[in-house]
Structure 1
Amino acid sequence: MPPSNAAKCTFVIDGDLPVGLAMNAVAALSLSVGKLTEGIIGDDVKDADGLSHRGITGIPLPVLRGDRATLRDIVLKSADFPDILVVDFTEVAQSSRSYDEYTERTSEIASAEIPYIAVALYGAKSAVNKLTGSLQLYR
Protein backbone atom coordinates (compact mmCIF):
# COMPACT_ATOMS: atom_id res chain seq x y z
CA MET A 1 0.00 0.00 0.00
CA PRO A 2 1.18 3.54 -0.67
CA PRO A 3 2.15 5.89 2.14
CA SER A 4 -0.91 7.66 3.51
CA ASN A 5 0.00 11.01 1.91
CA ALA A 6 -0.17 9.38 -1.54
CA ALA A 7 -3.25 7.31 -0.74
CA LYS A 8 -6.95 7.73 -1.10
CA CYS A 9 -9.91 5.81 0.21
CA THR A 10 -13.14 6.16 -1.73
CA PHE A 11 -16.55 4.72 -0.98
CA VAL A 12 -19.05 4.10 -3.78
CA ILE A 13 -22.62 3.59 -2.62
CA ASP A 14 -25.74 2.48 -4.48
CA GLY A 15 -27.58 5.76 -5.02
CA ASP A 16 -30.94 4.05 -4.59
CA LEU A 17 -30.26 3.03 -0.98
CA PRO A 18 -32.17 4.92 1.69
CA VAL A 19 -29.86 7.27 3.60
CA GLY A 20 -29.78 5.13 6.76
CA LEU A 21 -28.77 2.00 4.83
CA ALA A 22 -26.16 4.00 2.88
CA MET A 23 -24.63 5.27 6.14
CA ASN A 24 -24.65 1.71 7.50
CA ALA A 25 -22.78 0.52 4.41
CA VAL A 26 -20.11 3.24 4.75
CA ALA A 27 -19.71 2.44 8.46
CA ALA A 28 -19.28 -1.28 7.79
CA LEU A 29 -16.77 -0.67 5.00
CA SER A 30 -14.86 1.87 7.12
CA LEU A 31 -14.34 -0.65 9.90
CA SER A 32 -12.94 -3.20 7.45
CA VAL A 33 -10.65 -0.70 5.72
CA GLY A 34 -9.40 0.54 9.10
CA LYS A 35 -8.65 -3.00 10.24
CA LEU A 36 -6.86 -3.94 7.02
CA THR A 37 -4.86 -0.74 6.46
CA GLU A 38 -1.95 -0.03 8.76
CA GLY A 39 -1.22 3.65 9.28
CA ILE A 40 -4.55 4.98 7.99
CA ILE A 41 -5.44 6.39 11.41
CA GLY A 42 -3.39 9.25 12.83
CA ASP A 43 -2.11 9.56 16.36
CA ASP A 44 -4.28 10.78 19.19
CA VAL A 45 -4.26 14.56 19.62
CA LYS A 46 -4.68 16.79 22.65
CA ASP A 47 -6.69 19.97 22.82
CA ALA A 48 -5.67 23.16 24.64
CA ASP A 49 -7.05 21.76 27.91
CA GLY A 50 -5.03 18.55 27.60
CA LEU A 51 -8.05 16.38 26.79
CA SER A 52 -7.07 13.56 24.44
CA HIS A 53 -8.99 12.91 21.22
CA ARG A 54 -8.58 9.62 19.35
CA GLY A 55 -6.79 9.74 16.02
CA ILE A 56 -8.84 9.94 12.85
CA THR A 57 -7.94 9.32 9.24
CA GLY A 58 -5.69 11.86 7.59
CA ILE A 59 -6.54 10.97 3.98
CA PRO A 60 -9.43 11.96 1.71
CA LEU A 61 -12.58 9.85 2.16
CA PRO A 62 -15.02 10.84 -0.59
CA VAL A 63 -18.36 9.07 -0.66
CA LEU A 64 -19.60 8.72 -4.23
CA ARG A 65 -22.86 7.59 -5.79
CA GLY A 66 -23.22 4.81 -8.33
CA ASP A 67 -25.75 2.25 -9.43
CA ARG A 68 -25.46 -1.50 -8.98
CA ALA A 69 -24.06 -2.04 -12.48
CA THR A 70 -21.35 0.54 -11.76
CA LEU A 71 -20.53 -1.14 -8.45
CA ARG A 72 -20.17 -4.53 -10.18
CA ASP A 73 -17.93 -2.94 -12.87
CA ILE A 74 -15.72 -1.35 -10.22
CA VAL A 75 -15.33 -4.63 -8.35
CA LEU A 76 -14.51 -6.51 -11.56
CA LYS A 77 -12.15 -3.84 -12.95
CA SER A 78 -10.34 -3.57 -9.61
CA ALA A 79 -8.77 -6.95 -10.36
CA ASP A 80 -6.54 -5.04 -12.82
CA PHE A 81 -5.20 -3.00 -9.87
CA PRO A 82 -3.65 -5.54 -7.48
CA ASP A 83 -2.30 -2.81 -5.19
CA ILE A 84 -5.78 -1.47 -4.41
CA LEU A 85 -7.53 -2.82 -1.33
CA VAL A 86 -11.14 -3.55 -2.29
CA VAL A 87 -13.80 -4.19 0.35
CA ASP A 88 -17.27 -4.88 -1.00
CA PHE A 89 -20.59 -4.77 0.81
CA THR A 90 -23.59 -6.64 -0.49
CA GLU A 91 -27.34 -6.63 -0.08
CA VAL A 92 -26.92 -10.08 1.47
CA ALA A 93 -24.59 -8.70 4.15
CA GLN A 94 -26.87 -5.81 4.97
CA SER A 95 -30.00 -7.95 5.21
CA SER A 96 -28.50 -10.80 7.23
CA ARG A 97 -29.15 -10.95 10.96
CA SER A 98 -25.87 -12.66 11.80
CA TYR A 99 -22.47 -13.24 10.25
CA ASP A 100 -23.26 -16.96 10.06
CA GLU A 101 -26.41 -16.19 8.06
CA TYR A 102 -24.40 -13.87 5.78
CA THR A 103 -21.71 -16.47 5.09
CA GLU A 104 -24.27 -19.21 4.47
CA ARG A 105 -26.39 -17.11 2.11
CA THR A 106 -23.35 -15.78 0.24
CA SER A 107 -22.01 -19.30 -0.31
CA GLU A 108 -25.17 -20.07 -2.28
CA ILE A 109 -24.79 -17.16 -4.74
CA ALA A 110 -22.67 -17.32 -7.89
CA SER A 111 -20.06 -14.56 -8.18
CA ALA A 112 -21.80 -12.99 -11.17
CA GLU A 113 -25.04 -12.71 -9.18
CA ILE A 114 -23.71 -11.05 -6.02
CA PRO A 115 -25.81 -7.90 -5.34
CA TYR A 116 -23.21 -5.23 -4.55
CA ILE A 117 -24.56 -2.14 -2.79
CA ALA A 118 -21.28 -0.50 -1.78
CA VAL A 119 -17.54 -0.79 -2.22
CA ALA A 120 -14.51 0.82 -0.61
CA LEU A 121 -11.25 1.27 -2.51
CA TYR A 122 -7.97 2.15 -0.83
CA GLY A 123 -4.71 2.68 -2.66
CA ALA A 124 -2.74 5.12 -4.75
CA LYS A 125 -4.81 8.20 -5.60
CA SER A 126 -4.21 7.78 -9.33
CA ALA A 127 -5.43 4.17 -9.36
CA VAL A 128 -8.50 4.86 -7.20
CA ASN A 129 -9.34 7.85 -9.40
CA LYS A 130 -9.14 5.68 -12.55
CA LEU A 131 -11.89 3.48 -11.13
CA THR A 132 -14.08 6.20 -9.62
CA GLY A 133 -13.16 9.53 -11.22
CA SER A 134 -16.34 9.89 -13.27
CA LEU A 135 -18.73 9.38 -10.34
CA GLN A 136 -20.66 12.08 -8.50
CA LEU A 137 -20.53 12.78 -4.78
CA TYR A 138 -23.23 11.07 -2.75
CA ARG A 139 -25.65 13.83 -1.72
Structure 2
Amino acid sequence: MKFDASRHRCTIIIDKDLPPGLAINAASVIGISFGRTVDNLVGPDMKSIDMVNYPGVIYSPLPILLSPSNYIHELQSVAENDKEIHAIPFSALAQSCKTYEEYGVRISSVNSRNIELIAIGLVGPKNKITKITGNLPLYK
Protein backbone atom coordinates (compact mmCIF):
# COMPACT_ATOMS: atom_id res chain seq x y z
CA MET A 1 0.00 0.00 0.00
CA LYS A 2 1.17 3.53 -0.75
CA PHE A 3 0.07 6.05 1.88
CA ASP A 4 -1.40 9.38 0.78
CA ALA A 5 -2.10 11.71 3.73
CA SER A 6 -4.80 13.52 1.74
CA ARG A 7 -6.77 10.28 1.24
CA HIS A 8 -5.73 7.86 3.97
CA ARG A 9 -5.98 7.59 7.73
CA CYS A 10 -3.76 5.56 10.00
CA THR A 11 -4.66 4.45 13.52
CA ILE A 12 -3.77 1.92 16.19
CA ILE A 13 -6.46 0.28 18.32
CA ILE A 14 -5.46 -1.22 21.67
CA ASP A 15 -7.41 -3.57 23.97
CA LYS A 16 -8.82 -1.30 26.67
CA ASP A 17 -7.92 -3.84 29.37
CA LEU A 18 -4.19 -3.97 28.63
CA PRO A 19 -1.96 -2.46 31.33
CA PRO A 20 -0.13 0.71 30.17
CA GLY A 21 3.27 -0.95 29.66
CA LEU A 22 1.83 -3.70 27.45
CA ALA A 23 -0.32 -1.16 25.57
CA ILE A 24 2.72 1.00 24.82
CA ASN A 25 4.63 -2.07 23.67
CA ALA A 26 1.81 -3.14 21.34
CA ALA A 27 1.52 0.35 19.82
CA SER A 28 5.29 0.55 19.36
CA VAL A 29 5.51 -2.80 17.59
CA ILE A 30 2.63 -1.92 15.26
CA GLY A 31 4.20 1.49 14.54
CA ILE A 32 7.47 -0.15 13.52
CA SER A 33 5.60 -2.62 11.32
CA PHE A 34 3.67 0.24 9.70
CA GLY A 35 6.93 1.95 8.82
CA ARG A 36 8.16 -1.25 7.19
CA THR A 37 5.01 -2.24 5.30
CA VAL A 38 3.33 1.01 4.22
CA ASP A 39 5.10 2.96 1.47
CA ASN A 40 5.27 6.73 1.88
CA LEU A 41 4.02 6.68 5.48
CA VAL A 42 7.24 8.18 6.86
CA GLY A 43 8.64 11.41 5.49
CA PRO A 44 12.26 12.24 4.77
CA ASP A 45 14.78 13.27 7.41
CA MET A 46 14.86 16.96 8.31
CA LYS A 47 17.72 19.14 9.53
CA SER A 48 17.71 21.98 12.00
CA ILE A 49 19.37 25.29 11.16
CA ASP A 50 22.56 23.99 12.80
CA MET A 51 22.42 20.81 10.66
CA VAL A 52 21.34 18.35 13.36
CA ASN A 53 19.50 15.49 11.62
CA TYR A 54 15.94 14.62 12.73
CA PRO A 55 14.71 11.33 11.23
CA GLY A 56 11.51 11.43 9.18
CA VAL A 57 8.22 11.07 11.00
CA ILE A 58 4.77 9.93 9.93
CA TYR A 59 2.99 12.21 7.44
CA SER A 60 -0.30 12.28 9.37
CA PRO A 61 -1.66 12.01 12.89
CA LEU A 62 -1.57 8.53 14.42
CA PRO A 63 -4.31 8.30 17.05
CA ILE A 64 -4.12 5.45 19.54
CA LEU A 65 -7.64 4.31 20.35
CA LEU A 66 -9.14 1.95 22.94
CA SER A 67 -11.49 -0.93 22.21
CA PRO A 68 -12.96 -4.03 23.80
CA SER A 69 -10.94 -7.07 22.69
CA ASN A 70 -13.83 -8.61 20.75
CA TYR A 71 -14.08 -5.51 18.55
CA ILE A 72 -10.39 -5.81 17.63
CA HIS A 73 -11.25 -9.21 16.12
CA GLU A 74 -14.14 -7.59 14.23
CA LEU A 75 -11.77 -4.96 12.85
CA GLN A 76 -9.44 -7.71 11.67
CA SER A 77 -12.35 -9.38 9.89
CA VAL A 78 -13.39 -6.12 8.23
CA ALA A 79 -9.82 -5.55 7.02
CA GLU A 80 -9.53 -9.10 5.68
CA ASN A 81 -12.62 -8.47 3.54
CA ASP A 82 -11.64 -5.01 2.26
CA LYS A 83 -8.64 -4.79 -0.05
CA GLU A 84 -8.35 -1.03 0.59
CA ILE A 85 -7.65 -1.51 4.31
CA HIS A 86 -4.18 -2.60 5.40
CA ALA A 87 -4.15 -4.21 8.85
CA ILE A 88 -1.38 -5.14 11.23
CA PRO A 89 -2.80 -7.38 13.97
CA PHE A 90 -0.79 -7.88 17.16
CA SER A 91 -1.41 -10.86 19.42
CA ALA A 92 -1.01 -11.66 23.08
CA LEU A 93 0.99 -14.65 21.86
CA ALA A 94 3.56 -12.37 20.19
CA GLN A 95 3.81 -10.26 23.31
CA SER A 96 4.44 -13.32 25.47
CA CYS A 97 7.41 -14.61 23.46
CA LYS A 98 11.01 -13.98 24.49
CA THR A 99 12.52 -14.42 21.01
CA TYR A 100 11.38 -14.06 17.42
CA GLU A 101 12.18 -17.75 16.89
CA GLU A 102 9.83 -18.71 19.74
CA TYR A 103 7.14 -16.50 18.20
CA GLY A 104 7.55 -18.24 14.82
CA VAL A 105 7.25 -21.70 16.34
CA ARG A 106 4.25 -20.84 18.50
CA ILE A 107 2.26 -18.80 15.94
CA SER A 108 2.67 -21.49 13.28
CA SER A 109 1.07 -24.09 15.54
CA VAL A 110 -2.18 -22.17 16.20
CA ASN A 111 -5.25 -21.59 14.04
CA SER A 112 -5.75 -17.83 13.52
CA ARG A 113 -9.29 -18.05 14.92
CA ASN A 114 -7.72 -19.04 18.25
CA ILE A 115 -5.18 -16.23 18.43
CA GLU A 116 -6.04 -13.53 20.95
CA LEU A 117 -5.58 -10.09 19.39
CA ILE A 118 -4.66 -7.31 21.78
CA ALA A 119 -4.12 -4.55 19.22
CA ILE A 120 -4.45 -3.80 15.54
CA GLY A 121 -3.11 -1.11 13.27
CA LEU A 122 -5.25 0.06 10.37
CA VAL A 123 -4.45 2.17 7.30
CA GLY A 124 -6.98 2.91 4.62
CA PRO A 125 -9.33 5.45 3.07
CA LYS A 126 -10.29 8.11 5.60
CA ASN A 127 -14.03 7.45 5.30
CA LYS A 128 -13.65 3.71 5.87
CA ILE A 129 -11.28 3.99 8.83
CA THR A 130 -13.43 6.69 10.43
CA LYS A 131 -16.58 4.60 9.95
CA ILE A 132 -15.15 1.61 11.83
CA THR A 133 -13.16 3.47 14.50
CA GLY A 134 -14.90 6.84 14.90
CA ASN A 135 -16.79 5.77 18.01
CA LEU A 136 -13.68 4.55 19.87
CA PRO A 137 -12.14 6.72 22.61
CA LEU A 138 -8.56 7.99 22.53
CA TYR A 139 -6.00 6.26 24.74
CA LYS A 140 -5.21 8.73 27.53
Tell me whether the two structures share a fold, i.e. TM-score over 0.5: yes
Identity of aligned residues (%): 34
Partner of 2:7: 6
Partner of 2:81: 80
| CA-to-aligned-CA distance 1:52-80 (integer Å, 9 cap, x gap) | 21111111200000111011111112223
In the superposition, the TM-score normalised over structure 1's length comes to: 0.93
Letter in 2 for 1:135: L
Q: Secondary structure at the match of 1:86?
A: strand
Letter in 2 for 1:116: L
| CA-to-aligned-CA distance 1:2-45 (integer Å, 9 cap, x gap) | 52322111000011111111111011001111001111111111
Counterparts of 1:38 and 1:111, CA distance in 2: 26
Counterparts of 1:115 and 1:122, CA distance in 2: 21
Structure 1 residue ranges without an equivalent (≥5): none
Greater shift, 83-92 or 103-112, is seen at: 103-112
Letter in 2 for 1:131: I
Which structure 2 residues correspond to residues 1-139 of structure 1 after superposition, within 5 A?
Answer: 1=1, 2-139=3-140
Q: Secondary structure at the match of 1:83?
A: coil
In the superposition, the TM-score normalised over structure 2's length comes to: 0.92
Aligned-CA RMSD value: 1.3
Q: Secondary structure at the match of 1:5?
A: coil
Q: Are the aligned partners of 1:78 and 1:131 in contact in 2 as well (CA < 8 Å)? A: no
Greater shift, 89-98 or 47-56, is seen at: 47-56
Structure 2 residue ranges without an equivalent (≥5): none
Counterparts of 1:70 and 1:91, CA distance in 2: 15
Q: Secondary structure at the match of 2:6?
A: helix
Counterparts of 1:47 and 1:85, CA distance in 2: 34
Aligned residues between the structures: 139
Counterparts of 1:108 and 1:43, CA distance in 2: 40
Letter in 2 for 1:15: K
Q: Secondary structure at the match of 1:38?
A: coil
